[in-house]
Amino acid sequence: MPTFSLVLSCEHATDALPPDLYGKLVIDPERARSHRGWDPGALEVARALARLTGAPLVAGVVNRLVVDLNRTRGAARFSYESRQLPAALRQHLLERYWEPHVAALTALIRERLMSESSDGAFAMVDAAVDLDSSPARGQVAVSSRETTPRAVQTAAKRGPGGSGMPVLHLAIHSFTPNLNGEKRRADVALLYDPRRSPEAELCRRWAETLAMQSPLRIRRNYPYRGVSDGLPTYFRRHFAEASYIGIEVELNQALFRAGNASASTGEALAKFLLDSLIA
Ligand SMILES: [Zn+2]
């Protein structure tokens, strides 16, 4: 079974607008607070995943309508509103928000691939192992039967890592339940590149287990394609498929609405995701 070094990100974590952009950026507050501006619920899940595994999380700090951290090409990073800005201000936004986010993630992925001992090593093996007995060499194992968040966290902190361990980058997003009259028929979707077999295989198994272990409706490469412009697509150009596995986890925003039949907390969703990932 594969062993990963886990890295988490949340590009559309907040609806925050910059306090001042020389009065030049005009964004309707209602639009800024809507799903156009951010991914409600995503940060809550990303934070819970980080807490449960000890893995690092890089989260965006600005509204998507200012600059979209999950777009990698020129103008695609700007909304209708921010495209109206003078070029110098757009450049300022890239340097202030986009570059630090992507640089932090790139550094984490690199560091984990190079490092002899990577913290946050995240083992997925079958055998039951006593977490209190120190493994002589190699990976820390997490029993699929005895996996609890606590055990995962312990393993993550103690993981000795080593060369050859791929990075598993999970980018946590959420999507609106209805878009332009279309009702989305999924609670959780895993987006990946079907041409990269480690990603395809992991998502196939993960989706299968998640569907068995949770009441959630699971889809793959829905409602978007995993190879569209986004940070995992960008990192795939820089890292080989044996080193980098990039998956966008898309969560239906209806899951976070009280009163919904399948409403859930970020913590509960994170546990579903994690338990099925390491099962
Ligand atoms: Zn998003």
CATH code assigned at 66: 3.40.630.40
Distances in Å between the Cα of 196 and the Cα atoms of 63, 74, 109 are 31, 26, 18
- Distance between the two ends of the chain, CA-based, in angstroms? 10
174 CA to centre of ligand 1 in angstroms = 6
CB 81 within 8 A of CB 40: no
Q: Which of 269, 257, 276, 278 is nearest to 49 (CA)?
A: 269
78 CA to centre of ligand 1 in angstroms = 14
Structural domain of 164: 3-277
For residue 77, how many other CB atoms are within 10 A of its CB? 22
More confident site: 161 or 258: 258
More confident site: 161 or 256: 256
**pLDDT tens digit string along 173-222?**
999 998 888 888 899 999 999 999 999 999 999 999 999 999 899 999 98
134 CA to centre of ligand 1 in angstroms = 39
**pLDDT tens digit string along 101-119?**
999 999 999 999 987 544 5
140 CA to centre of ligand 1 in angstroms = 32
- Between CA 98 and CA 109, with CA 104 as vertex, the angle to 5 degrees is 125
HSE-CB at 225 with a 13 A cutoff on CA atoms is 6
Q: Confidence band (pLDDT; 50, 70, 90) for 39?
A: very high
3 CA to centre of ligand 1 in angstroms = 27
User: Does 152 have pLDDT greater than 50?
Assistant: no
39 CA to centre of ligand 1 in angstroms = 5
DSSP letter, residue 210 = H
d(CA 89, CA 82): 9
Predicted local distance difference test score (pLDDT) of residue 124: 38
Q: How far is CA 156 from the centre of its chain?
A: 17
Mean pLDDT of 20-30: 85
Q: Residue 97: helix, strand or coil by DSSP?
A: helix
113 CA to centre of ligand 1 in angstroms = 26
11 CA to centre of ligand 1 in angstroms = 6
Q: Residue 3: helix, strand or coil by DSSP?
A: strand
Q: Is the dihedral of CA 251, 279, 9, 158 positive or negative?
A: positive
Q: What is the domain count for the chain?
A: 1
**pLDDT tens digit string along 49-105?**
999 999 999 999 999 999 999 999 988 999 999 999 999 999 999 999 999 999 999
CB 81 within 8 A of CB 32: no
